[in-house]
Amino acid sequence: MSDAIRLTDLRVRYGRVRALDGLSLAVSRGEVYGFLGRNGAGKTTTLRVLMGIVGADAGTIELDGQPMKRVSVATKRSIGYVSQEQNFYPWMTPAQLGRFVAAFYPTWDNDEYGRLLRVLDVPPDRRSGVLSGGTRTKLGLALALAPRPPLLLLDEPTSGLDPVARREFNDLVASMAAERGTTVFLSSHLVDEVEGVATRVGIVQAGRMSIEGRVDELRERVRRVRSPVPLEPPPGFTRVRGDVWLADGSLWAAAAWPEGTSVEQLPLEEIFLAFARTDAPPGAAA
Amino acid sequence: MSLPLLRKEAREHGAVLAATAAIGGLALYAMLGVAENSGGGRFVGLTRFLLTIGPLVAFVLANRLLVREYTGRTQFFLETLPIGRVRVFATKWLLGCALMLLTAWVAWRVALGYVRRTEVLATADAIGVLGCAAAFCVTIWAFAALAGMLGRYRYLAWAAVIIAALLAMNVAGIPLFDLPVIRLLGQGVQMATALPETSAFVEALVVAVLCAAGAAALALVGSGAMASTLAQRMTARERAFALVALIAVGTISTTLEPKPVQPPFEITRGERYEGRWTRVGVLPAGTLDADAARSLARSIAEDNDALIDALDLSAHPPVFVLAQQGMDRHVMQRAALSTEDGIVLKVAPNAPAENVRMLVAHSLVADATIDRGMKDDRHVLLDGLASYWPLRDDEAGRERWWLRAASIPEPLPADYLTEWARTSERFGECQSLALAFSVFDTLVQRVGRDATMQSMKELFREPKDDVRVLFERRPTATLAASGVDFASLASAASAARAEARERHAAELARRPLLDAAVDWRSTPGRGIEIETTVTGASRYSAYYRLLLPWTTDAGDMPRLDVLGPSAVLPLSPSRGDRVLAVIEVDDEILDCPVRLLAERLRFR
């Protein structure tokens, strides 16, 4: 079965700035993929490429097995998208917005939209300009989910939400993915949020993929090694940063360490911190 | 076009557009009423409405449809929807265009109703007015859309256009209805009697297409990033700069004196002759009596008519010759007037008639070629044609000019024909004109007058007044088509001058032997002095000009008439300066001033 998303050696430049510098990743169907990276690492550019808002200078894009140079308008009909900022027409109410957006999606489900507004507690008759940031984000999610898209792209959608709203938002996304088999591509720099939702994560740094894999798999492979004596990584091990090393899970078990050496698994946040630094080795993807 | 987007625009801007329509309707009603009461033309009210309210409507539409989407950042929301950026822009642009066309149609319809209250006017007779109004509105919209896509700089774009129009009217003296695009609403349209020239429509179309292309580029290039960036608010520095620039331009434009609009040049007295193409007026004075003036006018008209036919020129300028006592008979001045005023010359009453006719022919061709006939690589042929033309059927006259040509010492440098400015400077007006005459007469004798004139027609055709002029055929190629090249022409002309020298040996032998020199010295307290000396003549003329670094052609030079052998020029150059010094004497045998010396001095 083909992947829902496959990006290969994607490159995008904004003038002299390399926003994406050979990014490659693959997301399976029905998967919730956490796309982690620091600010400016290339997360939003990747999502804009996937939405066809920005064209790639080089590399290939495959959506649902279909290779394309740029995501077409027809393909966008099968993608739901929630951006960082919700730039709705401030004079439109959620109901009016729904009618406006519905005209662009043949699969729009008006009942589902109404249900989502109720579930997310979004008032349908208040102008969007007077809604709070959190409510606007939930409105964005409702608009993105109402056409029942097989692919949902989320670009740091919860960065402005309070913890409760964030939990509600993430729960809804997780349940949608489970119920409908929707593929979710969640971009964020909030590691705990991604860890709670994602089945697989990728850490992007300076426009390239640093490491990619299931969360438990990453915790198997990336560990902290503390030793009373100076240690150099043995064959098969790579020093990521400081005392954080990378190796296959089997090597960790087989390795013989000097006396007093401790090897500990890391939370995802520590792994993210190690890989998201600029001096982390790129191309360590699983 | 996108129907959902159109519905959105209607909901978003309906109220503002309705208010604009109401205000526009009131303005139209008022303007039609005022125009009717003031007894203007049939569609004066309509044109006033289009000129004042039309741009306002376009501005409002551009602000609502385009600018608002970017300043409100809602285009980012549109980009997340499955609709292409091109379709969004096209929908908005075409909607604005349609609303402008609707404005034009409604205004025209109402204006036509007003006209029909007092006279019978068929729709078919007024449909041209609608076409002009529509073309005007579309062009204005295209500009408004482009300005709108400039985001925070849109006010500057509008201000620049308005200031340019004001300057064109107040300083350059161009009437409002002669300005590009506004030409569409000229007097013929106001009276519903005539449509503007096709060029007015082409002009408007070009402006509209360029503006539309510019707006589209701003909207689409770089994934629309340019328009988004431009839509951001002006920085404090930009605001200050824009304010200062506007104040500066406004201040300067108010201090400039408007150029007075003058009627074309005309003489109320004197002798007139109306040729087939050319109208000539000659003002007699002194020895140029009425009969001589009439004869000169007739000759000039015949010369010009024949030359216009031979070269197939479309310009038929009037010619005025004003005789003025006290002028040197060899000095002729052309008034620096516009081409609409024609060729206006001031000459001495006893100026040789053939010289006057030569200058008229020269001016005719030079003006028709927008002075390209005076480019160095073909100027000899223009001078030759101008000097030959009045003498084309005058054997005695031609021999007189051959005598002058024969007085030129040989050999001449090989490139003297194609570096005519240098040749003219060396030989002076009389002998360089004789030299050009000898070249041209030789050409006529070699290939015949018809073939020569065919080449001249090709060479002195009216050039394209745009970039296409760069691709015109070179004179050498034109001559080559007649089997002639400058080298063989120079050689044949030289041989012909040698023959003329033999024919006129006796006259040439009577010319006095003259020697001229120019020298300079630098003395403490008096600076640099330039001294001219001539031996063998009792009087002579010295001309001089300080040459600036960018001076190539000295042009008209101050003249010092000298009695006696030597004189110091009234000029105090400094070290490093350059001066052109020229010495000429009146040659009684040649009956014209002859240049003895032309020297460029550099003071080191």
pLDDT digit string, tens, across residues A69-91: 888 888 999 999 998 888 899 99
Q: What is the pLDDT of residues B277-333, one digit of tens each?
A: 999 999 999 888 999 999 999 999 999 999 999 999 988 999 999 999 888 888 888
Q: Is B77 on the interface with A (CB under 8 A)?
A: yes
Contacts (Cβ under 8 Å, ≥6 apart) of A74: B82
d(CA B57, CA B140): 10
Average of per-residue pLDDT values in chain B: 87
Fold of B515-602: Immunoglobulin-like (2.60.40)
pLDDT at B386 (0 to 100) = 95
Of A53, A89, A90, the CB nearest to B79: A53
Q: Are B415 and B485 in contact (CB under 8 A)?
A: no
Fold of B269-368: Neutral Protease; domain 2 (1.10.390)
Q: What φ, ψ does residue A274 adopt, rounded to 5°?
A: -70, -40
Q: CB atoms < 10 A from the CB of B234, how many?
A: 15
Closest residue in A to B73 (Cα) is A87
Contact A53 B223 (CB under 8 A): yes
Most confident by average pLDDT, A233-237, B23-27, B257-261, B478-482: B23-27
Residues of B within 8 A of A55 (CB-CB) are: 223
Contact A73 B84 (CB under 8 A): yes
A265: pLDDT confidence band, cut at 50, 70 and 90?
confident
- When pLDDT is averaged across residues A121-125 and rounded to a whole number, the result is 90
Q: CB atoms < 10 A from the CB of A72, how many?
A: 14
Q: Is B3 on the interface with A (CB under 8 A)?
A: yes
Contacts (Cβ under 8 Å, ≥6 apart) of A228: A258, A260, A261
The C-alpha of B100 sits at a distance from chain A's nearest C-alpha, in angstroms, of 25
Q: Lowest mean pLDDT: which of A198-202, B464-468, B518-522? A: B464-468
B260: pLDDT confidence band, cut at 50, 70 and 90?
low
Residues of A within 8 A of B225 (CB-CB) are: 14
The C-alpha of B157 sits at a distance from chain A's nearest C-alpha, in angstroms, of 27
Q: Is A54 on the interface with B (CB under 8 A)?
A: yes
Q: Lowest mean pLDDT: which of A182-186, B208-212, B480-484? A: B480-484
d(CA B530, CA A147): 95
- When pLDDT is averaged across residues B366-394 and rounded to a whole number, the result is 91
Contact A87 B4 (CB under 8 A): no
Of B8, B74, B80, the CB nearest to A81: B80
Of B75, B76, B81, the CB nearest to A101: B81
- Going from N- to C-terminal start, the domains of chain B cover 3-255, 269-368, 375-510, 515-602
Q: What φ, ψ does residue A66 adopt, rounded to 5°?
A: -100, 115
Q: Is B221 on the interface with A (CB under 8 A)?
A: no
pLDDT at B467 (0 to 100) = 65
As a dihedral over the C-alpha atoms of residue B366, residue B370, residue B376, residue B377, rounded to 10 degrees, the angle is -100
A282: pLDDT confidence band, cut at 50, 70 and 90?
very low
Q: Is A107 on the interface with B (CB under 8 A)?
A: no
pLDDT at B322 (0 to 100) = 93
B553: pLDDT confidence band, cut at 50, 70 and 90?
low
d(CA B554, CA B561): 19
pLDDT at A101 (0 to 100) = 92
Q: Is A55 on the interface with B (CB under 8 A)?
A: yes
**What is the rounded radius of gyration, in angstroms, for the C-alpha atoms of chain A?**
21
pLDDT at B552 (0 to 100) = 60
Fold of A28-55+71-206: Rossmann fold (3.40.50)
For chain A, the distance separating the N- and C-terminal CA atoms, rounded to the nearest angstrom, is 19
Q: Which two tokens stand for residue B470?
A: 């760069």
Choose, out of B7, B68, B77, B83, the residue to mutate when testing the contact with A (most A CBs < 10 Å): B77
Q: Which two tokens stand for residue B62?
A: 């551009």
How far is CA A9 from its chain centroid?
Answer: 18
A279: pLDDT confidence band, cut at 50, 70 and 90?
low
Q: Among B599, B470, B465, B473, which Cα is nearest to B532's? A: B599
pLDDT over 90 (residue A99): yes
Q: Lowest mean pLDDT: which of B165-169, B201-205, B561-565? A: B165-169
- When pLDDT is averaged across residues B80-84 and rounded to a whole number, the result is 88
Of A54, A83, A89, the CB nearest to B80: A83
pLDDT at A284 (0 to 100) = 47
Contact B3 A74 (CB under 8 A): no
Locus of tokens 């020697």: B515
Contact A53 B74 (CB under 8 A): no
- Going from N- to C-terminal start, the domains of chain A cover 28-55+71-206, 210-276
Helices B486-503 and B395-406, axial angle in degrees (round to 10):
100
Q: Is A90 on the interface with B (CB under 8 A)?
A: yes
Of B595 and A178, the structure prediction assigns the larger pLDDT to B595
Contact A89 B77 (CB under 8 A): yes
Q: Are B48 and B31 in contact (CB under 8 A)?
A: yes
Contact A89 B80 (CB under 8 A): no
The C-alpha of B218 sits at a distance from chain A's nearest C-alpha, in angstroms, of 15
pLDDT at B194 (0 to 100) = 77
Of A76, A89, A103, the CB nearest to B74: A89
Residues 151-210 of A with CB under 8 A from B: none
pLDDT over 60 (residue A186): yes
pLDDT at B346 (0 to 100) = 93
Closest residue in A to B86 (Cα) is A73
pLDDT at B568 (0 to 100) = 92
Most confident by average pLDDT, B36-45, B459-468, B491-500: B491-500
pLDDT over 60 (residue A138): yes
Contact A81 B77 (CB under 8 A): no
The C-alpha of B6 sits at a distance from chain A's nearest C-alpha, in angstroms, of 11
Contact A74 B82 (CB under 8 A): yes
At B99 the three-state DSSP class reads: helix
Residues of A within 8 A of B79 (CB-CB) are: 51, 53
pLDDT over 60 (residue A285): no
Choose, out of A87, A145, A153, the residue to mutate when testing the contact with B (most B CBs < 10 Å): A87
pLDDT at A41 (0 to 100) = 86
Residues of A within 8 A of B72 (CB-CB) are: 87, 89-90
pLDDT at B299 (0 to 100) = 95
Which amino acid, B529? E
A–B interface: beta-carbon pairs under 8 A: 49
d(CA B479, CA B384): 14
The DSSP string of A53-74 is SS--SEEEEEETTEEESS--HH
pLDDT over 90 (residue B509): yes
Contacts (Cβ under 8 Å, ≥6 apart) of B449: B392
pLDDT at A283 (0 to 100) = 46
Of A87, A96, A104, the CB nearest to B76: A87
Residues of A within 8 A of B6 (CB-CB) are: none
